[in-house]
Amino acid sequence: MHELSIALSILDLVEEEAERQRGRVAAVHLKLGRLSGVVKDALVSAYDMAREGTSLAQTELVIEEVPLLAHCSVCAADHPLVSIQDLRCPVCGNPTPDILSGRELEVYAIEVET
């Protein structure tokens, strides 16, 4: 259950940014890769718990899940992968260790009320 640490880190980061922007934060947008090691549902619960009693108690967490994208050296092309348990090119079946996206764990934007 490291999702609580993750939720606390998100709140820290957003609080810092909110101070800079001098406004109430209505929502925080998070990119979450399928290979990030963080479980979406667990993070949502941990976030709901962690934000209580903070200045971000009303701030919504909006999660955008990022699919796995890998480069296949045989096809010389980038392909989305279906499963994180099978890192092979969906077209030619060659192993694709070269992951281009899907590890994201990033606060990419906040909505600040004006």
Interface positions with other proteins (CB under 8 A): 1-2, 5-6, 9-10, 12-14, 17, 21, 26-27, 29-30, 35-38, 84-88, 95-97, 99, 105-114
Minimum distance, C-beta of residue 44 to other proteins, in the bound complex (Å): 14
Minimum distance, C-beta of residue 52 to other proteins, in the bound complex (Å): 19
Q: Which residues, other chains included, contact 35 with Cβ-Cβ below 8 Å and sequence gap of 6+? A: 68, 84, 99, 102, 103
Residue 53 zone, left/alpha/beta (φ > 0; ψ -120 to 50; rest):
left
By beta-carbon proximity to other proteins, the closer residue of 77 and 108 is: 108
- Please return the burial class of 43, using the count of CB atoms within 10 Å of its CB with bins 0-12, 13-18 and 19+: buried
Minimum distance, C-beta of residue 86 to other proteins, in the bound complex (Å): 5
- Token pair of 96, please? 């694709």
- How far is 106 from 6, CA to CA, in rounded Å? 11
Minimum distance, C-beta of residue 113 to other proteins, in the bound complex (Å): 5
